[in-house]
Chains A and B, each alone.
Chain A
Amino acid sequence: MFKKNFIILICLIFLGFNVPKVKAAEECFEGVSRGIFKFNMAFDDIILEPLAKGYNKLPTPIQQGTGNFTSNISTLLSIPNSILQGNFKDAGHATGSFLVNTTLGILGFLNPAERIGLKPVKEDVGQTLGAYGFGPGCYFVLPILGPSTARDTIGLIADTFVDPFAHITIREQELFGLSGNSLDYYSVKGTGAVDFRSNNINNFDSLEKNSIDLYSSFKSIYLQDRENKINNSKNSQDDWGNLDN
């Protein structure tokens, strides 16, 4: 019974994001998502934000080193995804950056790769699916993880199969003599989240203070960001038309 329901759910999600005309703004279950969003905001107030504020009090080199370390590990996910998207130049940059930072950069705490012009572009399976032409499907909010779409949630699960770091941690497989466990994986991801939150303390505060519907602001920002990442662009779409005064 569970298996059958699970298959139906997966099919529905796939149908949702395979139909090209489904608008990203369409919600799967807005009421539930708004409830989860409230829970996430409470989680942020009680746990994430205090951690981020504490993290911000650490000496700058420690903060930078931690940010570099988590960022370097996440480069591993970008390598296969850049290849899958046919962006071999980006794959080369990501590979070079990972190798240089892991060795010369002392396990990624330093970022000498940037100084020699290696700039990895962050890629994941959600972006790869987007690059293949899959639409985002409907929008919803995941507990703790935040805003997502049908495509990006599938991508999030697939990431753990594509990411070499997930292989040696979550699946405890050995790669080049290295192995770890789930705790390593979630510790790195959690630290990455704290680092991101600490870099955006003012942005979050400003957004919270100036939004009349915070849920929608987060949704808009998330969808614009994903759209830009899929297009590897930082240009917003032009929908002003001929709006003249």
Chain B
Amino acid sequence: MKKLIVFLVSSIIILNASFLYGYSSNPEEFVKELVGEAINKLSDKNLTKEEKKIFVEKVALENVDIKALSLYTLGELRKSAEKDKLIKYQSTFEKYFLKSLTSRLADYSSSKFEVTSSEKKSASYTIVNSKVSPSDGSPEIKIDWRIYTKNPDKPLIRDLIVEGLSLARTQKEEFASILSSNNNDIIVLIQKLEEFVNN
């Protein structure tokens, strides 16, 4: 009986999770479904700010390749950094990324989103092209999604390119500047990220 209850509860949790966050494995559909759901949730006036934050964090943890992003933004230092410091950096980066993401989406105002096309760059990458038309009449924004497709069943977002400006590259260059002015000391970067997280 106990086993059955555990099985039923687990099944419900898994089904619920896959219903909420299990998106298509096709990169175009994946982006379409993910953004569609995000727009619905973020513009839902019945949800509190905290509920929206939890939703954004869950979706990001499931669908953004935060680990790869942390390594990419570290540049060449990822090859020479000590393992324990690298692990500490990755864990701090994840907190930094989630805080930064929820902050950016906090003031979301409804927009029309449309996937326009996609291009398979290699076995590992597909670029999905989309456009966002803000409801306040501001000019349309072109957003490209770098989707990592090494595991074809589980696409992951690695970068957003907004009007040609890569968010990952901007982050990488920001970190590079901090590292180069501090003798490439990864601890200083970790401290800066912690300061951001704790503020």
Residue A199 interfacial (CB < 8 Å) = yes
| Cβ–Cβ contact B164 & A220, under 8 A | no
What are the interface flags for B158-172 relative to A under an 8 Å C-beta threshold, 1 for contact and 0 otherwise? 110101111001100
Contact B170 A238 (CB under 8 A): no
Chain A 204-224 interface 0/1 with B at a Cβ cutoff of 8 Å (1 = within) = 001001111101110111001
**B174 pairs with A213, CB closer than 8 A:** yes
Q: Is B53 an interface residue (CB 8 A)?
A: no
Asked if residues B193 and A212 are in contact (CB atoms below 8 Å), the reply is yes
Which of chain B's residues has its CB closest to A240's CB?
Answer: B72
Give the chain B neighbours of A206 by CB distance below 8 A: 103-104
Q: Which residues of A lie under 8 Å from residue B192 when comparing CB positions?
A: 212-213
Among B100-123, those with CB < 8 Å from A are 100, 103-104, 107, 121
Q: In the bound complex, how far is the Cα of B142 from the Cα of A100, in angstroms?
A: 27
In the bound complex, residues from chain B placing their C-beta under 8 Å from that of A244 are 68, 124, 150
Partner of A243, one of B68, B163, B193: B68
Residue A172 CB within 8 A of the other chain:
no
Does A210 contact B165, Cβ atoms closer than 8 Å?
no
Q: A220 with B173: in contact, given A206-B104, A236-B166, A245-B67 (CB under 8 Å)?
A: yes
Judge if A233 is at the interface, Cβ distance under 8 Å. yes
Q: Say if the beta carbon of B23 comes within 8 Å of chain A.
A: no
Encode contact with B along A186-206: 1 for CB under 8 Å, 0 otherwise.
Answer: 000000000000010010001
**A12-23 interface mask toward B, CB cutoff 8 Å, 1 = contact, 0 = none?**
000000000000
Q: Nearest Cβ distance between residue B22 and chain A, in whole angstroms?
A: 20
Q: Are B65 and A224 in contact (CB under 8 A)?
A: no
Most buried by A among B100, B107, B165: B165
A240-B161 Cα distance, complex, nearest whole Å: 13
Q: Which residues of A contact B (CB under 8 A)?
A: 25, 60, 199, 202, 206, 209-213, 215-217, 219-221, 224-225, 228, 233-240, 242-245
* Nearest 3 pairs of A and B residues by beta carbon: A216-B177, A234-B164, A220-B173
| A–B pairs, 17, beta carbons within 8 Å | A25-B173, A209-B103, A210-B103, A210-B104, A212-B174, A213-B174, A216-B176, A216-B178, A217-B174, A220-B169, A224-B170, A233-B164, A235-B127, A237-B169, A238-B121, A239-B169, A240-B158
